Amino acid sequence: MVRMRELVLAGALAFGIAGAAGAAEAPKPPAQSWSFEGIFGTFDRAALQRGYQVYKEVCAGCHALNQIRYRDLGGGTGAAHEPLVGLGFSEAEVKAIAAEYTVMDGPNDDGEMFERPARPADRLRKPFPNEKAARAANNGAYPLDLSLIVDARQDGANYVYALLTGYVDPPPSVKLGEGMHYNAWFAGHQIAMAAPLSDDRVAYADGTNATVSQMAKDVTTFLAWASEPNLEARKALGVKVILFLIILTGLLYAAKRKVWSSLH
């Protein structure tokens, strides 16, 4: 509960505060179609991998993902009959991704901290060493950790997608504050974060056309996974429980008919 409250408060800073305007309610974002919605919904692995690429190349410069480890980007549970929980990268790909970064470790035998190549068991590297460094690089704002952003926001996936695609020219009647940007779906419409996406901002490894809407959809899917990596396993278990209860109900009804049949 404390962590969730911290995330919400940090989110107000990370996505921009516009004085009193920030207190206004955000408009309800339009609903999008998501592969992971519904009782049988699953994550599109190709979208997840593209979304990770967008996060890595666009978002990771400011926003951390502290709850995710490099190994979480891998293939899944290891059992062919169980649902995946990762992004579908192979073990070799995960090791290569981790090896692109260095992390602080220690102390060593001399009592000193040292840097080493990241391992799959390490958490994704933070963009800043501490909060003060993060604020200094972002005009006083503290970019929030995105690990739970989709769960922390009401209608989270639709909200994040709308926010990323909602940068438009302000109406003539709106005067933007210094350093602020107009966003149609942000509370108060004035946001400190500049538009992070533009067409072809990334070159997708799978050749997908990197439009703003495509990148926003993919990174939102990735952040939805980051908020609940076990979503597919939970849904699969729920379906099994429902089927079990249906069968059990039928058996109990048949047993009741058998037991009481002599009285009719």
Give the DSSP letter of residue 84.
P
Coil/strand/helix, residue 117: strand
The pLDDT > 70 percentage for the chain reads: 87
- For residue 3, pLDDT over 50 is answered with no
pLDDT of residue 140: 83
| 24 vs 137: CA distance, rounded Å | 27
- Look up residue 24 and give its two tokens: 């206004």
- For residue 15, pLDDT over 80 is answered with no
DSSP sequence for 131-193:
HHHHHHHTTT--PPP-TTHHHHSTTHHHHHHHHHH-B-PPPTT--PPTT-EEBTTSTTSEESS
Position with higher pLDDT, 262 vs 56: 56
Kindly indicate the confidence band of residue 12, based on its pLDDT and cuts at 50, 70 and 90.
very low
149 Cβ partners below 8 Å, 6+ apart? 7, 11, 156, 160, 223, 227
Give the DSSP letter of residue 222.
H
pLDDT of residue 2: 43
pLDDT of residue 83: 54
Kindly indicate the confidence band of residue 109, based on its pLDDT and cuts at 50, 70 and 90.
confident
Give the DSSP letter of residue 69.
B
* CA 165 vs CA 20, 193, 194, 231, 239: distances in Å: 23, 13, 12, 26, 35
The radius of gyration computed from the CA coordinates of the chain, to the nearest angstrom, equals 23
Position with higher pLDDT, 30 vs 234: 30
- CB-CB neighbours of 232 under 10 Å: 21
pLDDT of residue 9: 40
Type of residue found at 45:
R
| 123 vs 235: CA distance, rounded Å | 26
Tens of pLDDT, residues 200-229: 999 999 999 999 999 999 999 999 999 999
- Look up residue 224 and give its two tokens: 């939805």
Instruction: Kindly report the CATH class assigned to 2-68+125-229.
Output: mainly alpha
- For residue 14, pLDDT over 50 is answered with no
pLDDT of residue 75: 75
